[in-house]
Structure 1
Amino acid sequence: MDPKTATALRRLRLVSTPEAVSFLVLLVCSVLRRTTDFDAVPVMGMVHGALFVLYLVFWLDAWNRTRWSLPTAAWFFLMAVVPVGGFFAERRLRRAEQDATIAARARREGVVNA
């Protein structure tokens, strides 16, 4: 994996958790708006919207660089739409990053002929 691809995956991984947290906080704020006088939806809506757009930009970049299959790319897109999906995306991306790091070390040390 080249450095630009690794960077694209890392960026997607790092934005996935804050995007998921902002989605959950926005849902809580929506409930509080309907049940109390607390109204943080406009602020949280903008925060979540910005993080969602950032996730989509990084998702497109990662899809372009990694050449994911359509089902894999669709899965990562779906994880941006599901309220807790960002946590699952982050976990899967972290595992892929670790696997790529181990493979790169093995190739560098001559353990694998690739």
Structure 2
Amino acid sequence: MILTRDEENPELLQLCLKWVLFANRPLNPQEFYFAVQFGIDEGCTGSWDQESEDLERLKAFVRSSSKGLAEATRNKASVVQFIHESVREFLLGEYGNQWSGATVNIAGGSHEVLRDCC
């Protein structure tokens, strides 16, 4: 229900989930923010005004864009991760094709999307 209840910007949710699931390493909130921005906004320049983008705002972006399924950890070396390992298992399980838009290979298709963002 979480994946389908909000029809507003489903591409953003898909991209967020793909970054958390398939990134080679956990991303910090800043990396996550720009990875998603490059994927959804072709006009994104990548310039970052550190004064206007504070850590709390980036953490809020993680929560809102992932519909609450991911969060930034509260420790000093903050990383973006799912709120519980069961989220990962569910997304990679039998319902993976419903949220990912993939028809066959979720991992392969997701890696192509992430490559294109980079």
RCO comparison, higher one (Cα < 8 Å, 6+)? 1
What's the TM-score once normalised by structure 1's chain length? 0.32
Q: TM-score, normalised by structure 2?
A: 0.31
